[in-house]
Amino acid sequence: MNVLITGFEKFSTFKVNPSEMIARRLDGKTIGKSDIKGVVLPVIYEDALERLSLLLSEMRWDLVLSLGLNPNIGWIALERYAHNIKESEVPDERGVIASGEEVVSGGETVLISNLPLERIRDRLREEGIPARISYSAGAYLCNSVFYYVLYKILKYGGRGGFIHIPLNTEYVAREVKYYGKCHMPIDTLQKAVEIAIETTLQEGEERSV
């Protein structure tokens, strides 16, 4: 099976994006019988979707799992809903401020992740990793990527999801201004993403038996 993992480059005041680190760490790895390709997307609306469009036309991915940083959470947030809207007071890294445009013109308002979110959440908790299902990925870049992936791959039965992760401990340790924010070690974040991949692929195998 072919698995695509996307992370994001650094953005805003955060000099490190743990989602980028994980995409790089997983690139070229094999999990179960699946080969992982990890790519890093820019935090720029136009460029991120252009890059994704190319990647998604390369092949029929069995699973596309996108990752992004949410510096305000202390848990793994398994996103359920992607919304067809771009809106944020925060500009992207090219200075573009989105104000309510659609991600895909004429697309449905909401698309729903088809990952086994409850199972992933339960497995993460069993492993001692705080996790919960989230019902909004916001309306910034992460939501755009999440929506675009689902829009493209649900059509052919691919599986798609998005996970928001907190800051990584190693970065926070170096940035005193972020003391007080929640964080997890990068190895724990990576393990959480691997568990999400494994759980999804296992479910796929059970389904096809």
- Annotation says 79 is catalytic: yes
Spatial neighbors of 122 by CB under 8 A, at least 6 apart, are none
Residue 3-42 contact track with ligand PCA, rule CB under 6 A, x = bound:
-----x--x-----x-x-----------------------
Distances (CA, A) of 36 to 5, 24, 32, 127, 178: 7, 10, 10, 22, 32
Q: Name 184's bridge partners.
A: 168
The reply to whether 69 sits near ligand PCA by the rule CB under 6 A is yes
In the complex, minimum distance from the CB of residue 90 to ligand PCA, in angstroms, rounded to a whole number: 9
Closer to ligand PCA by CB, 26 or 43: give it: 43
Residue 142 annotated as catalytic:
yes
Is 46 catalytic? The answer is: no
CB of 63 or CB of 145, closer to ligand PCA:
145
Regarding 148 and contact with ligand PCA (CB under 6 A), the answer is no
Q: Where are the alpha helices (DSSP H) in 92-179?
A: 117-126, 141-153, 169-174
Euclidean distance between CA atoms 147 and 158, whole angstroms: 14
